[in-house]
Structure 1
Amino acid sequence: MIKITIDGQILEVAEGTTILEAAKKIGIIIPTFCHHELLDIIDGAACRICLVEIEGAKSLAPSCAIPVTDGMVVYTDSESVRSSRRTVLELLLSKHPLDCMTCVQAGKCKLQDYCYQYGVKSANFNNDDEKLDKPIDHTNQFYYYDENKCILCGKCVRVCSQLQQVGAIGLSERGYNTHVAVPFELKIKDSTCVSCGNCVSNCPVGALVPKRKEKFRYWETNKVKTTCSYCGVGCQMDLLVKDNKVVEVQPSDKGLANNGLLCVKGKFGYRFIDHKDRLKTPLIKKEGKFVEATWDEAYDLIASKIKVAKEEFGPDSIAGFSSARCTNEENYLFQKLFRGVISTNNVDHCARLCHASTVAGLATTLGSGAMTNSNFEVLNSEVIFVTGSNTTETHPVIGSHIKQALKRGAKLIVAEPRRIDLAVHSDIFLQITPGTNVALFNGLMNVIIDENLQDKEYIEKNTENYDELVSVMKDYTPERVAEICGIDAEDIRKAARMYASVDKASIFYSMGVTQHSTGTQGVMSISNLALLCGNIGKESAGVNPLRGQNNVQGACDMGALPGDLPGYQKVANPDVINKFQKAWGVELSNKVGLTVTEVMTKGSEGDLKVLYVMGENPMLSDPDINHVKEALEKIDFVVVQDIFLTETAELADVVLPAASFAEKEGTFTNTERRIQRVRKAIDCIGNSKPDWEILMTLMNKLGYDKVYSNASEIMDEIASVTPSYGGISFDRIDQEGLQWPCPDKDHPGTKFLHKDGKFSRGKGLFKPADYIKSAESADKDYPYILTTGRMLYHYHTATMTKRVEGINRLFPHSYMEIHPTTANRLGLEDGSKAKVSSRRGEIITTVTITDKVEEDVVFMPFHFADGAVNYLTNSVVDPTAKIPEFKVSAVKIERIKD
């Protein structure tokens, strides 16, 4: 430790600490423009506002760049320091508009604040030749750039290059003509800007500003910290509220899930909250048309239909879809309503369509079906293997972390059917044929075993069934696997050696692995690979499934699954049933319920009488939409509870208006198992209600008298029956979330699972699987393979994002990526229309010609209602997890003539 004196205060700090950091520790705030604690230190600093006086030094020094030395004496507010800062401010003002009275950044402008602090009223360095009339750049859909107000601190450039790792902006020209070059327009060729807005969030003045509909001053707003409602990263953000309206979003200063970064959806995708299309009152369908109703009318009708169906056809004639977009508390009450009040386990949610195979596969091999490690741990990984995940688009902040790790020296392997953004940065890119994941993983393990690269000590101590793994892997030589996957055998060897050669190798995967008829085998094969090299139970390694929606992990944790009560406690276990019967005071069924896909089958067969859908949109998200529509139309009574009149809600008998995440309290659990607060920022829109209040009232109407005063009480009940959440309460996670397992109130949470080889199942299990072809292959009638996925700008079925103007202007409709050779063969041009058909349906979509996909493989995102790709996808399921095979469907493509 080093002892220094700052403004008369003596303190000890670690070696390498800067003067700026040391001063902050004792509450002395030194002004900065260009500094950011996560950015590299600039020699000499860029803005010079943080200069301090060091006793014995000949000149003032930039506190952000100078490390302390033992015995150093520093003055941060001497007259020479103040004079220097005034000079810096006057120089900045000489090239800056003096329009603070009308500037939209008033109240959030450091230049304004520092001028006030140091008494600077005008510039003494005016240049008559300088004209502050540079045009404002409005080309970005979400924010604008005013070069006249830029102070050239360079912070935006460094945030873009070092944190976001995009490098879309930079300083251009030299000397007096230096300016920030900002190629914002996304359609400009070669622009890498992804509109994340992190430059905007970090601009210290009014040069980069969000486009706004409302006029407000920052001191007029209230700041409410909450958790993002989009992907599973769980970014912490501040909602800025004025007059009961969210007017802006800023990243929270320190959130362990995202550490100050947001993506375009998190930063700018909040306009859906008060969109004119929001549902505001209950709707009941009469004579084929919706009419407005009171809450009591809607409750009474739903309760009566449930009672009649239960009495006449039994409780298993009723089913419900819970929601990964709702809070933990709401998912808990939803499954409690169905199990404890209706007496059926027919409850499921969208995890069945994305990560059911993860829950099944990892629970089998490791004892826990969740991400083993934490978001930030990837920064210290030595090798990163990304497969079945377009991470920079589907989980953008984690994608940025991966790129930061590469900057630190990590190696990257990517295995994907498409040439995704991370493939450009990879050391090895394996562009595999869709549906060949298991073969690839087996080929990697074949090389590792054959070349004795496995961690034999770890295997002996912490695993079982290794001999069977060795036996099965013998058949998967690199040459055989290369032929199956359509890649080079030598690249398989290189990737295997790279993964096995380091101490900390992490695997990130998502639905490119899970959404197959062999998805469970794919997940278990990833687990096999990690166990083989001892990469489970250590920091910056592990198996890391990236959950797609904001609370899909939490919905699973809460028991929104047909075979699992909260905490993955099995309904078939008599001890579990007895435990919950005692806790809830009801009789429970021990019969495993129906999955999402089984519900649709029962519905189409006429065997389902009531379906209750909370926050899901199966008319776009489920495979074979024609089959889904047939099922929904045959079910006697359908209830949809949502924030918009979705494609599914249009087919319902009753629609209930729910509150958005900004209108209620609760928690989300992100992909790294971190339970974080969701806070109410505004009153409910119209006559909508939080989902938990709707569910509680309906439970009461059906005869269950339990009343909850708030969401916190529900979490207390969750903690009492869910061992992994035992130590969770709203008070404990008020400032920062905790990762489960957190079994008691004194437990700090668990950063990574299976430390020291401690698996909840005893030992890690090798579960080898042979490669099996996808259920459908290309043939003469359907000669092309369609694979589906997500894109950066839209989310799930676009219920929220299509109501954000900027996003919808950029990507308003469906599209199909197709290789230039394939397009040429079919006579297709970029931007033209094509008809795409499968054995299940047909759609019309827009052609995008790109070499991201291989010949005879096409890709479509599933977000769009027009040209909805799930009319084409295959509803065949993995026999273990019952997850559909979205990723491989045989299609034919025809040009539509003008």
Structure 2
Amino acid sequence: MGKMVTLTIDGQVISVPQGMLIVDAAKKAGIDIPVFCYHPKMEPVGMCRMCLVEVGRPVIDRTTGQPILEADGTPKIQFGPKLETACTTPVSEGMVVRTQTQVVAEARRGIIEFLLTSHPLDCPICDKGGECPLQNLTMAYGPGESRFQYEDKMHLAKHVPLGELIYLDRERCILCGRCVRFQSNVADDPVIAFSQRGRALQIVTFSEPGFDSYFSGNTTDICPVGALTTADFRFGARPWEMIPTASICPHCPVGCNLTLNVRREAAAGGREVIKRVMPRQNEWVNEIWICDKGRFGYHYTESPERLRQPLVRKNGRLEPATWEEALAFAAEGLRERSGVVALAGGRLSNEDFFNLYQVVTARQGRAVLYSTMAGGDYVQRYGLSGDANLAGLGKGDAVLVVATDLHEEAPLWWLRVKQAAERGATLIVANARPTKLERYAAHVIRYAYSEVLEKVQSLLAGESPEAQALAKATNLVIFFGQEGLSLEASEALATMLARLLVQNGQAERPLSGLVAVWPHANTQGGWEIGFRPDPDLAHTLATAGAVWVAAADPAGDDPILAQALEKAGFVIVQDLFLTETARRADVVFPVQAFTEREGTWTSGERRVQRFYPAVPELENTRPDFMIVAQVADHLGIPLVGRSASRVFDELARALPAFAGLSYTRLAEVVEQWPLVGRGDLYYGGTVYENTQGLGVRLARMSAGAELSEWPAVEIAPAPADDALYLVPVVRLYDQGQTLVPSHLLQQRMARAALYLAPATAAQLGVQTGERVEVSAGEWAETLTVYVDANVPVKAGLVPRSTGVPLRQPLWVRAQRAVLEPQP
């Protein structure tokens, strides 16, 4: 901790770090200084003047440099002639601050009255009613009645769309600038700004589409009035009508902490429904922010397309069945066959993975992780440890990001890595194409997709400036993904990056380690429990006596896997929807969504976190772990299946990395800074305090095998001069089954398309909007072209989960599509 200074606020003597602002020092002392424009996560601007206080400083003798003392021996304090803004004034030794004097009260009353001269009187219908800082501070500090006539107020446009996700009521805006500053300084998306001047000043969007940012919803949280609202919550409910429930975001490996606000309503037939998703503070994970996918992407849990009854194949058709019929039929199918394969996706909880693993191993089967990316075992050994927090990275440390676009794949990690670079950490980004993170990189390593392993090898050689920067770093955090890599190549990449940590002597440091950018929330949890991806998955499925698929849709992702499933002896599927895989199953079990049950997920940083049930379960559905246990019971395999917490207890006893963990420990919290989500809503915004658990990071496993060697994997060279390397890339808004039901995001979802470099497009003789046929063997696809200068030459990028059956990169033949003449 740096130098401390002692000061007095309202008669209370406190010590705080030098350089802290008065408003924050007061907050630490439990004294609230009202603010509108200030936010503890952003640099102060002193715009609103609501935080004016009296500030006195010791009188210093110019000859001795020492404070002049009063008769009683205390320093003589001289107060300034004017009030000062607590949000822009740093503390100093011996400072005396008064926040409750008559002159301060008069200033606050004047500021409130001034704001209300241009503010509408629509509190009864305003969405912010009940959690509005302006409303609360008016009651606390404002005048009892107005001296201004209603007709004198500004009357501006209401319900102004800043895009399809966020609406602006211009006359409610108090021009605090929080939203503009957040978008410019925190999110680095300066897509909204002030326009015009004086009383005509207003917020506008300059982007197309409007408010084009993955973090736009956060502005509605930090807006101190009802000027900004989200499209899905506007006029939806009152805060006091809703019940908050702690949860974890299911969409990516960051594990952002959420609060689900729930209300029972007549429009839903008396059911309890989720009205909005809000951030929950966890300074080790997502701080107080969430991305818009996490905020708006929950609607699949309420989709009318959800499965609501078990299905059993009879006479070649899936027919509704009772639970007992379906469980008995599934057990019979497993009992009669050997060679059972459990294929599980990263949407499962740790408890689901654990029970499924117990059954399949008891049947001498294989536990296969549905993933095209490897390296989870190296994350177990060389991941972050203990209480490591990315917020601790700064000058003298380094961050290496390889083969991943964090802004698209894990937005909150992008935000936190950006912040580390801004604090002075050396950021090195290695990718085949430019990404948004490169704006903050000290070094950029560009490579052809076929050269990524070679480039990482050069970092191990230690001769380049990038290698030297990594070697001398005190702490090194490495994020790695799978862009442009096969499963085998991603395994080799993880091995080499682990070796880099060991070689540099950073592997044992608590704030150093590997972080895998998985495609799903709990892929790392699958690795921890024993599931592993299969490089020859099609053959494994085709030759299996029985395949048990949970939270995965291989048939919908790849026609080759669909054909393989057709050859499997018996297929069981557990899912939320009747997927293409479920359509081919012999038994289909309807499962509960994460909003309807409890469980745990393990993030890419190996932090185990709890999520809680927010709404009653959909009738006739069950959690995955319970379904597995009930099938196991029919097979004579004893498993815990009635309670997620009891399954977790069994897991913690069986797996050394989870030793000592329990639901009680995962629910433990400590005080976090800044203090948000408390009684006042003006300081940090409408953000929920975390009282339900910060999670626990798993202990590192022993290093195990030597890292001197790694799999000899090479990306195959182009089979012909005109071949195109087709690479699936992640877009935040894909068309996966857990996002498509979110209609608000439809306009921004990635579409099936082929992105080409200008030179590649010219070689094929196509322009944006024209069509190209790509083919490999018997597979062919015709795609619309978009010419993009950021795409590498001889490569074609295709967004994942948009209907194009491309799970891993491959060389293809490409040619301009010949369109049939119209009749």
User: By the TM > 0.5 criterion, same fold?
Assistant: yes
Q: 1-side partners of 2:14 and 2:490: how far apart?
A: 57
Deviation for aligned residue 1:763: 9.4
The counterpart of 1:897, out of the listed 809, 819, 823, is: 819
Q: What residue number does 1:582 align with?
A: none
Q: What residue number does 1:600 align with?
A: 538
> What amino acid maps onto 1:807 in structure 2?
L
What SS class does the counterpart of residue 407 from structure 2 fall into? helix
Q: 2-side partners of 1:784 and 1:77: how far apart?
A: 70
Cα deviation, 1:598-642, whole Å, max 9, x if unaligned, reads 4531443xx323211111111244xxx232111111223211111
The counterpart of 2:552, out of the listed 616, 619, 637, is: 616
Check the 8 A contact 2:166/2:216 in 1, yes or no: no
What SS class does the counterpart of residue 225 from structure 2 fall into? coil
Check the 8 A contact 1:327/1:667 in 2, yes or no: yes
Q: 2-side partners of 1:296 and 1:713: how far apart?
A: 23
What SS class does the counterpart of residue 755 from structure 2 fall into? strand
Q: What residue number does 1:887 align with?
A: 809
Alignment of 1:548-563 (within 5 A): 548-561=519-532
The counterpart of 1:230, out of the listed 235, 251, 265, is: 251
* Residue 381 of structure 2 is aligned to residue 368 of structure 1: yes
The counterpart of 2:467, out of the listed 496, 517, 521, is: 496
Q: What residue number does 1:205 align with?
A: 225
Residue correspondences, number: 763
What SS class does the counterpart of residue 274 from structure 2 fall into? strand
* Cα gap change, 1:429 to 1:707, in 2 (>3 Å): closer
Q: What residue number does 2:23 align with?
A: 20
Cα deviation, 1:856-891, whole Å, max 9, x if unaligned, reads 2101122122x3334xxxxxxxxxxxxxxx234333
Alignment of 1:763-782 (within 5 A): 765-767=707-709, 773-775=714-716, 777-779=718-720
Q: 1-side partners of 2:320 and 2:414: how far apart?
A: 45
Q: What residue number does 1:5 align with?
A: 8
Q: 2-side partners of 1:19 and 1:792: how far apart?
A: 40
The counterpart of 1:783, out of the listed 723, 739, 744, is: 723
Check the 8 A contact 1:281/1:656 in 2, yes or no: yes
The counterpart of 2:431, out of the listed 416, 431, 439, is: 416
Alignment of 1:530-541 (within 5 A): 530-538=501-509, 540-541=511-512
Check the 8 A contact 1:375/1:672 in 2, yes or no: no
Deviation for aligned residue 1:751: 7.0
Q: What residue number does 1:354 align with?
A: 373
* Residue 586 of structure 2 is aligned to residue 656 of structure 1: no
The counterpart of 2:441, out of the listed 419, 423, 426, is: 426
Check the 8 A contact 2:307/2:576 in 1, yes or no: yes
Q: 2-side partners of 1:803 and 1:507: how far apart?
A: 34
Alignment of 1:792-831 (within 5 A): 792-794=732-734, 798-811=736-749, 813-831=751-769
Q: 1-side partners of 2:747 and 2:695: how far apart?
A: 43
Q: 2-side partners of 1:12 and 1:411: how far apart?
A: 33
Q: What residue number does 2:658 align with?
A: 725
The counterpart of 1:396, out of the listed 406, 411, 422, is: 411
What SS class does the counterpart of residue 17 from structure 1 fall into? coil
Cα deviation, 1:708-735, whole Å, max 9, x if unaligned, reads 4421111111111211111211111114
* Cα gap change, 1:285 to 1:140, in 2 (>3 Å): farther
Q: 2-side partners of 1:306 and 1:324: how far apart?
A: 23
Check the 8 A contact 1:788/1:859 in 2, yes or no: yes
Q: What residue number does 2:305 align with?
A: 277
Q: What residue number does 1:490 align with?
A: none
Alignment of 1:463-862 (within 5 A): 493-512=464-483, 515-538=486-509, 540-561=511-532, 596-598=534-536, 600-604=538-542, 607-621=543-557, 625-736=558-669, 760-761=702-703, 765-767=707-709, 773-775=714-716, 777-779=718-720, 783-794=723-734, 798-811=736-749, 813-862=751-800
Deviation for aligned residue 1:525: 2.1
Q: What residue number does 1:470 align with?
A: none
What SS class does the counterpart of residue 671 from structure 1 fall into? coil
Alignment of 1:80-95 (within 5 A): 80-95=103-118
* Residue 44 of structure 2 is aligned to residue 41 of structure 1: yes
Q: What residue number does 1:328 align with?
A: 350
* Cα gap change, 1:821 to 1:20, in 2 (>3 Å): same
Q: 1-side partners of 2:314 and 2:147: how far apart?
A: 74
Q: What residue number does 1:259 align with?
A: 287
Check the 8 A contact 1:827/1:895 in 2, yes or no: no
Q: What residue number does 1:471 align with?
A: none
Q: What residue number does 1:464 align with?
A: none
What SS class does the counterpart of residue 27 from structure 1 fall into? coil
Deviation for aligned residue 1:222: 1.0
Check the 8 A contact 1:640/1:654 in 2, yes or no: yes
Check the 8 A contact 2:340/2:365 in 1, yes or no: no
What SS class does the counterpart of residue 191 from structure 2 fall into? coil
* Cα gap change, 1:164 to 1:277, in 2 (>3 Å): same
Deviation for aligned residue 1:676: 0.7
Q: 2-side partners of 1:768 and 1:706: how far apart?
A: 38
Q: 1-side partners of 2:665 and 2:659: how far apart?
A: 12
Check the 8 A contact 1:91/1:123 in 2, yes or no: no
What SS class does the counterpart of residue 250 from structure 1 fall into? strand
* Residue 238 of structure 2 is aligned to residue 179 of structure 1: no
Cα deviation, 1:764-797, whole Å, max 9, x if unaligned, reads 7433676x532362415x6111111211212xx7
Which deviates more, 852-861 or 196-205?
Answer: 196-205
> What amino acid maps onto 1:869 in structure 2?
L
> What amino acid maps onto 1:279 in structure 2?
L
Check the 8 A contact 2:246/2:260 in 1, yes or no: yes
Deviation for aligned residue 1:678: 0.8
Cα deviation, 1:6-57, whole Å, max 9, x if unaligned, reads 3343433333333322332343322222222222233xx2222222334533
Which deviates more, 715-724 or 675-684?
Answer: 715-724
Alignment of 1:430-469 (within 5 A): 430-448=445-463
Cα deviation, 1:169-214, whole Å, max 9, x if unaligned, reads 333444434333323543x6xx763354222221121111111267
Check the 8 A contact 2:597/2:612 in 1, yes or no: yes
Cα deviation, 1:356-382, whole Å, max 9, x if unaligned, reads xx135x38xxx8164566543445564
> What amino acid maps onto 2:248 in structure 1?
T
Q: What residue number does 2:192 align with?
A: 169
The counterpart of 2:178, out of the listed 132, 155, 160, is: 155
Q: 2-side partners of 1:274 and 1:381: how far apart?
A: 47
> What amino acid maps onto 2:450 in structure 1?
G
> Normalised by the size of structure 2, how large is the TM-score?
0.86
Q: 2-side partners of 1:240 and 1:202: how far apart?
A: 17
Check the 8 A contact 1:388/1:513 in 2, yes or no: yes
Check the 8 A contact 1:389/1:512 in 2, yes or no: yes
What SS class does the counterpart of residue 572 from structure 2 fall into? strand
* Cα gap change, 1:893 to 1:107, in 2 (>3 Å): farther
Q: What residue number does 2:262 align with?
A: 241
Check the 8 A contact 1:139/1:185 in 2, yes or no: no
Q: 2-side partners of 1:707 and 1:426: how far apart?
A: 49
Deviation for aligned residue 1:549: 1.3
* Cα gap change, 1:602 to 1:400, in 2 (>3 Å): closer
- Give the helix-richer structure, 1 or 2: 1
Which deviates more, 886-895 or 140-149?
Answer: 886-895
Q: 1-side partners of 2:707 and 2:725: how far apart?
A: 34
Q: 1-side partners of 2:299 and 2:697: how far apart?
A: 34
Structure 2: state its 5+ residue gaps: 57-78, 265-271, 672-693
* Cα gap change, 1:263 to 1:529, in 2 (>3 Å): same
Q: What residue number does 2:806 align with?
A: 869
Q: 2-side partners of 1:597 and 1:676: how far apart?
A: 30
What SS class does the counterpart of residue 773 from structure 2 fall into? strand
